[in-house]
């Protein structure tokens, strides 16, 4: 069951394996950097590849704005490793196999079947500053996140 998360809420903690199998925790970033955490449906699908490549192509913009990018889906570590290598993704991909972290972030299913596509901007204090949800406006996730980072 997806929980209700709002702008101004404290970001729920997570601890998930990345594409190399290393555990990554929200707490690793608190006090150090802003985060752009985006949930997406599936590695190598058309929309998710477009979105990931947009994040890749704007990665330096995010870094210059003082943020790290983290992508999360229910794909396994091996799938993430291949996806990151295939598209030269410079950022972290986390495996949320049981979608429990997606649930804590309120990311449910879109159209009742597809895992949601939602982007969060989390500030250094762990507060959610932006939530953008759109299954089809892939690049808009990047535009909205950059716009918010310029404000905080």
Give ∠ CA 80-86-91 in degrees, rounded to 5.
Answer: 55
- CA 2 – CA 24 distance, rounded (Å): 22
φ, ψ of residue 53 in degrees (nearest 5): -70, -30
53 belongs to the catalytic site: no
Q: Which helix (H) or strand (E) holds 83?
A: helix 77-87
Rg of the chain, C-alpha, whole Å: 14
Task: Indicate which residue of 11, 24, 48, 142 is catalytic.
Answer: 48
Residue reference for tokens 């903690």: 13
| Whether 149 contacts 66, CB under 8 Å | yes
Beta strands in 21-124 (DSSP E): 23-25, 34-39, 67-73, 92-95, 109-110, 114-115, 118-122
For the annotated catalytic residues, the residue numbers are 48
């Amino acid at each position: 069951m997806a929980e209700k998360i709002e702008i101004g809420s404290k970001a729920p903690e997570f601890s998930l394996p990345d594409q190399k199998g290393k555990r990554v925790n929200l707490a690793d970033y608190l006090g150090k950097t802003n985060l752009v955490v985006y949930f997406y449906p599936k590695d190598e699908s058309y929309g998710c590849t477009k979105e990931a490549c947009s994040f890749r192509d704007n990665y330096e913009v995010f870094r210059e704005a003082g943020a790290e990018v983290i992508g999360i889906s229910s794909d396994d570590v091996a799938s993430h490793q291949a996806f990151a290598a295939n598209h030269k993704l410079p950022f972290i991909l986390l495996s949320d196999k049981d979608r429990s972290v997606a649930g804590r972030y309120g990311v449910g299913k879109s159209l009742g079947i597809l895992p949601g596509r939602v982007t969060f901007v989390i500030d250094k204090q762990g507060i959610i500053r932006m939530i953008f949800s759109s299954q089809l406006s892939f690049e808009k996730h990047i535009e909205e996140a950059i716009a918010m980072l310029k404000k905080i």
